[in-house]
Amino acid sequence: MEDPIQLKEEGNKYFQASDYEKALQSYTQAIKLNKDKALQAVLYRNRAACFLKKEQYAKAASDASRAIDINASDIKALYRRSQALEKLGKLDQAFKDAQKCATLEPHNKNFQETLRRLGANIQEKLRIQFSTDSRVQKMFEILLDENSDKEKREKAANNLIVLGREEAGAERIFQNNGVNLLLQLIETKNPELILAAVRTLSGMCTGHKARATAILHYLGIDSICMWMSVDNEEISLAVCNLLQTITDCLLGQGKEEHHGKEEALVLDTKKDLKMITMRLLDMLVSKKVSGQGRDRALNLLNKNIPRKDLKDLDNSRSIFVIDNGLKKILKVVGQIPEMPDCLPLTENTQLTASVLLSKLYDDLRCDPERDNYRLICEDYIKSKIDPQDMDKTLHAVQIVSGVLQGPFDLGNKLLGMKGVMEMMVALCGSEREIDQLVAVEALIHASTKLSRATFIITNGVTLLKEIYKKTKNEKIKIRALVASDKTILYSVASALVNCTNSYDTKELVPELVQLAKFSKQHVPEEHPKDKKDFVVKRVKRLLKAGVVSALACMVKADSAILTDQSKELIARVFLALCEDPKDRGTIVAQGGGKALIPLAVEGTDVGKIKASHALAKIAAISNPDIAFPGERVYEVVRPLVSLLNTERDGLQNYEALLGLTNFSGRSDKLRLKIVKEKALPDIENYMFENHDQLRQAATECMCNLVVNKEVQDRFVADGNDRLKLVVLLCGEDDEKVQVAAAGALAMLTAAQKKLCSKMTQVTTQWLEILQRLCLHDNMEIQHRGLVIAFNLISSDKELAKKLVESELLEILTYVGKQEDHPKKQHIINVARDCLTKCMDYELIKPLSR
């Protein structure tokens, strides 16, 4: 449609039908196509009406103004602008427009009423404004008067904070030279007054970009950072919150703004944000900044620089910090508290800096960006290595240690720099305690990769033992022991992973292998002793040698020794050991079940998945009371539920379902635990699976769970297809699925009479499915079908009548008349019970002989 008049008429129809969005689209299209001025004014005022209905008042006022620009006496446009301005809080401007409307139509009662209302509101606003102004003035007089009573000053300070949090109060403070007066309070150096002033400023900045920008420029970022640097925790935190509030406003985050005057004001915040970032980075390396101030600067950078959502492609803030401040962060990481030239630090400063390094590294989008990050780190570390200056070299080692606590992969690359590992080991042989402490700490973090651990065992463990024996410094003694034990434990775990061949390997596609060979590319070949037969033999020998007991002892090691990487390796070994179902009893007997639980809860994501899978293998075939005695069994439920995830592979899903089926058949308390872990929706999803084994396992699990009252209530609840799914699964061709689904349906209809009538409503195939169950060749399925029939007949006479009128009566009669037979007696008895119940209802009569 390209006719503006037709589009206008279409928009009018949509507006009358209250479809304001479509009306808006029609008017907008008409405005683009129209060239007639008179019609343009009508279109703008009509679109203003749409914006009013959608509560977009700034846009409504803007469109009404455009209509008035074309026709100054357009009464509808004037009135609509008056309405919009009133909603935006611009009462005086709204009053002027309403006055013009009343002048053009003096007898219009609506305009007269609007004028009266606006006049009253303006008077009230002025009254509050004058009242607020006098209150603000009085508060500042009390606070700035050194002779004021302490109690009065405290009350005035609290009232000022509250007023600053209210929009009207914040605006009055701002308009009446309040920022300057608050600055005077800060300059008194009285901690209570400083806190009150800073908190008031935070309130005034919240949700108001223009005011926050003005306050930032008035106070100056240098002053704000200086206040945040003071050695007073409360003041430092309050100033940090102020700067965070300002940053939120500049980034357009936090509370939504409703300030009409800002719609026309375009604020370029990039320059201010860069200025704040640069000052925070400068704070990191300034000796004038307290430890707490440094922590605040790091926390602000951590919170505001990396992207919160990786779907957002703009990581320019992280790139800016890396280019302009990465070396400053590395300097903080490389500080050694025991040295005299150390910057003021708290116990959290360096760890917070390592976290920032990690977040910045994770925020990078491509290899060139990561390479740039690595090169900056390498250049900085190289600049610190000086064989003639041991103190500088110490800082280099400390930096590597700090990076290992942050971006781990990058830390391992830095360890590969020429001479770094050798330098660490050499420092262990130094006579200076500070050298030993830094070196030992670095070795602790470095021993989480097999090649490094092997190097340390070969070159450093003897030195670590010597340090342990000779040093009188308890801290060094403990850390040397940790470094030695941690390295050995990691190496042993790595060796066991190699023995069990439990590293993840990518399956080679034969076609791609042939293509690689054709193009003369190297194709890695499997080592002969990594073939399955050899691996199985090694696993059996390890089990016979008591490896499970050794692994269980390793899991009990102190957290300083047992790293997340070591936990992952141990979990891999356990999973390989559990491969053969015949070995799982041995693993349980030697404490493997107990040892796997903490591995499934803590560690790397991969490690937790591997441990959970091993637990699932054990839980699938073992008696839970023996494998996980006492309360321990409840701790296993969550790891099993974590495997019911589309990101996990089919085998993990299947074995987790088998484990949960086993558990849910033990006790109602376990069933309730499974429900509380929110496993029910996932189990239901697998009941829809095309994969036969997954669908069967999920249905069997649900069959056990329906015994629980809470699960039954979910089937009874309206608005779900749970019962329909179970009924339809009873009609599947897969006998194992039929057995499980029929069992679930038999228990549900026995426990809840409501489900008997509901079953007849969920699908038109219910009767056909029931008849097929009652005639099934599989006696287990037939018995469950007849139990369902009995439950339906027992629940309601009318439902029983419907069944008697169908072919089901013939089926029941045929089965019930069969001669007694030990193998089929339970089936025959249920059919006879159905017939007896029908006779009790007088729906059928016994045959007279």
Q: Give the CA radius of gyration of the chain.
A: 38
Average pLDDT for 467-493: 68
pLDDT in tens, 215-233: 999 999 999 999 999 888 8
Is 345 or 434 the better-scoring residue by pLDDT?
345
| Residue 766's pLDDT band (cuts 50, 70, 90) | very high
Which two tokens mark 388? 């003639």
Q: Judge contact between 455 and 468, C-beta under 8 A.
A: no
Most trustworthy range by pLDDT among 191-195, 251-255, 735-739: 735-739
**Least confident span in 255-259, 577-581, 595-599, 653-657:** 255-259
Question: Quick check: 202 pLDDT over 60?
Answer: yes
Instruction: Please provide the size of the chain in residues.
Output: 849
| Residue 670's pLDDT band (cuts 50, 70, 90) | very high
pLDDT in tens, 313-367: 889 999 999 999 999 999 999 998 888 889 999 988 989 999 999 999 999 988 8
Name the residue with tokens 């850390």: 479
| Predicted pLDDT at 23 | 92
Average pLDDT for 203-216: 89
| Predicted pLDDT at 648 | 87
Would you give the distance in Å from CA 496 to the centre of its chain? 34
- 815-840 burial by CB neighbour count: b if 16+ within 10 A, else e? bbeeeeeeeeeebbebbbbbbebbee
| Predicted pLDDT at 151 | 78
Cα angle for residues 132, 133, 135 (degrees, 5° grid): 60
What span, in angstroms and rounded, lies between the C-alpha atoms of 629 and 614? 17
Cα angle for residues 550, 554, 557 (degrees, 5° grid): 145
Question: Quick check: 88 pLDDT over 70?
Answer: yes
- 575-605 burial by CB neighbour count: b if 16+ within 10 A, else e? bbbbbeeebbeebbebbbbbbbbebbeebbe
Cβ count within 10 A of residue 285: 16
What span, in angstroms and rounded, lies between the C-alpha atoms of 300 and 295? 9
**Least confident span in 493-502, 603-612, 721-730, 768-777:** 493-502
* Helices 367-384, 349-362: inter-axial angle, 10-degree rounding: 150
Q: Which residues contact 173 (CB under 8 A, 6 or more apart)?
A: 136, 160, 163, 164, 179, 182, 200, 204
Rounded to the nearest 5 percent, the helix, strand and coil shares of the chain are: 75, 0, 25
Question: Quick check: 474 pLDDT over 80?
Answer: no
Q: How far is CA 127 from CA 98, 120, 132, 176, 369, in A?
A: 22, 11, 8, 16, 59
| Residue 459's pLDDT band (cuts 50, 70, 90) | low
Give the closest residue to 67 by CA, choosing from 43, 51, 90, 84.
43
DSSP string, 535-604: HHHHHHHHHHTTHHHHHHHHHTS-TTTS-HHHHHHHHHHHHHHTSSGGGHHHHHHTTHHHHHHHHHHSS-
Is 430 or 690 the better-scoring residue by pLDDT?
690
Burial of 164 (0-12, 13-18, 19+ CB in 10 A): buried
Question: Quick check: 840 pLDDT over 70?
Answer: yes
Q: How far is CA 306 from CA 240, 300, 350, 362, 369, in A?
A: 18, 11, 18, 8, 14
| Predicted pLDDT at 660 | 94
Question: Quick check: 396 pLDDT over 50?
Answer: yes
| Predicted pLDDT at 454 | 61
Q: Is the dihedral of CA 637, 643, 646, 649 positive or negative?
A: negative
pLDDT in tens, 230-272: 888 899 999 999 999 999 988 886 544 444 444 434 456 889 9
Which two tokens mark 690? 């095309």
Q: What is the mean pLDDT of the chain?
A: 85
